[in-house]
Structure 1
């Protein structure tokens, strides 16, 4: 049986363009010279994305739809796509064409040479707002510092060998960071640069709040450094308290009264703020443990059930 290349595209509220873009992605991937399948995972879209995916599947049998019961997030959609993929190699890419599908034949060629992972890395972030580029670089710098993994300018646009896919699916955690886990696994890989293209219609579904939550979740899923920082914060506050206490005793011995409640208020504000921040960090990690212990599935798909006759 000839090798199969699977294409996985997460979809969320992309109804205006997903049908045409699926066709364009398949046409570009045909240059690899292998049999293709495309798994389009609808992540609980609220528009007509599901209907457009079904229309694409009706026109091309290589399209295999997967529909979530609700929005579970992009990481869950990638997970589901990999779980449903049957290919000897799997390419994950966005459906908005910001990941240029013309690179797929080149990625497959590297795979044929024996590489397990082909990473498409952003050489030019395209028309990105200055503040977005700043926050992205800040996240990558923190992630490298905390987790010890350099994934600067990496993307979800990757080709994975079947062995890598099976390993990824065997990981026990429910909440995943695709880029981080593939980088952590450290399979033989190669990087190819690409320029982020303009979106082929529609607007990004990522708000600033969603991106911030996504960044925090990914940082804490790969590093316990924030928990350890609490110790250093406590030590710094203890040192500050010792200095203030020493100065207060010195003034008392010299017979000079400390005017007002400035010192007391300062101590209360600093210590109270540090305690609340520390409790927030601990609470975040406890919430992650709670979610993992519940062991709920990372996504649910709609049943493919026909009504009784």
Structure 2
């Protein structure tokens, strides 16, 4: 086990090994399985054991190269996750990892893993640490990759025993994304295979507000779909709260769609036309003496236009906040220690 300190950000060092021949990279690739973790001490040993079984079976079958490995990203855990990974690294050379300096969020943790292993693998699979993503789907991912796919999306066949509120929230999320014009694959979590070519392209994306599902869906590389069953969480509880789900949806919409801004513009036109119609109605009502003097001129602008202005200013502020983050160009993640 080797641990080293790093105070930089997203830059990585290229591996000195020569890349495999194209045909060998497809038929027997170096595979890296990237797994972000946040406070997963209750499940991490089981996850490592299950993934090692799959990795070693694939190696014995000659489907992947002997250099293939697991790569865990500790996203600022405050429990024993990193200590357990260090112990597992000592007894299992295939288990490697990266500890981030603090919690940067799920999307940035996945990105950190992908960019760190970029020059060490011919293809990479990212998945969650709770084993809800069926590890057996990895075999199908590799089949699609060998057939020429550069991106293979894992798509949920069903939501398993997820609470009804989360199922409704997930459906609303994908409905919102598609209705706002953001291209995503329905029922696709961050369980996917990507090729080295896609990894090189991903390194060119410098945005701070990362939404990987939208980035990969908009690349245009040849893609395939693998359906998998969602399993119950092996241990512990989910760390993906409603607040994080809403934040992910906002990042997706504001990063890949200007439809909300266009809705504001169209709404402004409709409100103007409506205000003109109401103004005509008020004039005729005033001429007939049907209104209290001063009522219409006070209530109409305060209760209608005031509420709409606050709503639209809030939406525009969301976009301005994203611009603010992008302009500062702060690192998307900061590495602290690495297990190799």
TM-score (norm 1): 0.93
- For residue 21 of structure 1, what is the aligned residue in structure 2? 47
Which structure is richer in relative contact order (CA contacts within 8 A, separation 6 or more)?
2
Secondary structure of the structure 1 residue equivalent to 2:132 = coil
1:109-162 deviation digits (Å, cap 9, x = unpaired): 221222111111101110122222122112212211222524111121111111
Distance 1:186 1:256 in 2: 62
2:108 is equivalent to residue 82 of structure 1: no
2:29 is equivalent to residue 3 of structure 1: yes
Q: Cα offset for 1:56?
A: 1.4
- For residue 280 of structure 2, what is the aligned residue in structure 1? 246
Distance 1:21 1:257 in 2: 71
Correspondence for 1:228 among 229, 242, 262: 262
2:317 is equivalent to residue 283 of structure 1: yes
Aligned residues: 305
Q: Cα offset for 1:60?
A: 0.8
1:158-188 deviation digits (Å, cap 9, x = unpaired): 1111101111121121221111111111211
Distance 1:150 1:65 in 2: 29
Where do 1:73-222 residues align within 5 Å? 73-85=105-117, 86-222=120-256
List runs of 5+ in structure 2 lacking aligned partners: 1-19, 21-27
Correspondence for 1:56 among 88, 100, 105: 88
Distance 1:233 1:27 in 2: 56
Bigger CA drift: 113-122 or 287-296? 113-122
List runs of 5+ in structure 1 lacking aligned partners: 305-309
Closer, same or farther: CA 259–135 of 1 in aligned 2, 3 Å: farther
Q: Detail structure 1 runs of 4+ shifted over 4 Å in the superposition.
A: none
| Contact 1:11 1:43 survives alignment (8 Å) | yes
Secondary structure of the structure 1 residue equivalent to 2:180 = helix
| Contact 2:184 2:213 survives alignment (8 Å) | no
Distance 2:290 2:133 in 1: 70
- For residue 69 of structure 1, what is the aligned residue in structure 2? 101
1:218-259 deviation digits (Å, cap 9, x = unpaired): 111110111111112222222222122111211232344436
Q: Cα offset for 1:19?
A: 2.1
Distance 2:290 2:141 in 1: 76
- For residue 269 of structure 1, what is the aligned residue in structure 2? 303
Q: Cα offset for 1:20?
A: 2.4
Bigger CA drift: 226-235 or 69-78? 226-235
Closer, same or farther: CA 150–210 of 1 in aligned 2, 3 Å: closer
1:49-97 deviation digits (Å, cap 9, x = unpaired): 1111111111111111100111000111111111111110101011111
TM-score (norm 2): 0.85
Correspondence for 2:73 among 41, 47, 57: 41
Distance 2:207 2:50 in 1: 34
Q: CA RMSD in A?
A: 1.8
Distance 1:212 1:126 in 2: 21
Q: Cα offset for 1:263?
A: 6.2
1:184-214 deviation digits (Å, cap 9, x = unpaired): 1121111111111000100000111121112
Closer, same or farther: CA 80–221 of 1 in aligned 2, 3 Å: same
Distance 2:29 2:299 in 1: 70
